Amino acid sequence: MGQLFITLLVVFFLKSSLGSQPCGVNEYLESCAKDCLYDNCPKNAQDDSVSCASPKECVSACKCIFNHRRADNGTCIQTTSCPPFDCPANEVFDPCPSFCPGEDCKSATPHGLCPFPMLLVVYCTPSCRCPRGHWRKNGVCVPYEECGI
């Protein structure tokens, strides 16, 4: 009788702990979750720059894991799989640009590569970037020759 009770207790424990995952694939449960626009795949270059306010009361919610975003269908996908959005003229969409501390003309190099490469694992922030060999001059991407260096 004692073995049956222990067996039932173990089965109940396993079923309750394994059978009811609160979140889906590529998600984790956050105890006091903020509802942020940057949790989703961005629709434009400004979506990631909008800050989110702290909730008025703490509510648990499922959030996407590191370098994943919520897709339109509600699942968490890799940020690099988010659909591209339109970029201004002379710019290209990059789903996970490498970190480069200087993208403007004062940091320009003739070969078009970042002058200060950083080997860091960073949070992917889809954005519009200057294509290789172009640099920002007054916020606009121009070829290296127009930087006046």
pLDDT of 85-99, one tens digit each? 999 988 999 999 887
* Res 4 pLDDT > 50: no
| Residue whose C-alpha is closest to residue 135's, from 148, 147, 118 | 147
| Residue whose C-alpha is closest to residue 142's, from 87, 90, 86 | 90
In sign, the C-alpha dihedral spanning 42, 117, 130, 135 is positive
The ranges of the chain annotated as CATH 2.10.25.10 are 84-149
22-79: CATH topology: Laminin (2.10.25)
Residue 91's pLDDT is what?
Answer: 94
In words, the CATH class of domain 84-149 is mainly beta
Q: Is 48 helix (H, G, I), strand (E, B) or coil?
A: helix
Least confident stretch, 15-24, 27-36, 47-56, 76-85? 15-24
pLDDT of 38-81, one tens digit each? 899 999 988 888 888 788 889 999 999 999 999 999 999 999 99
Q: Is 144 helix (H, G, I), strand (E, B) or coil?
A: helix
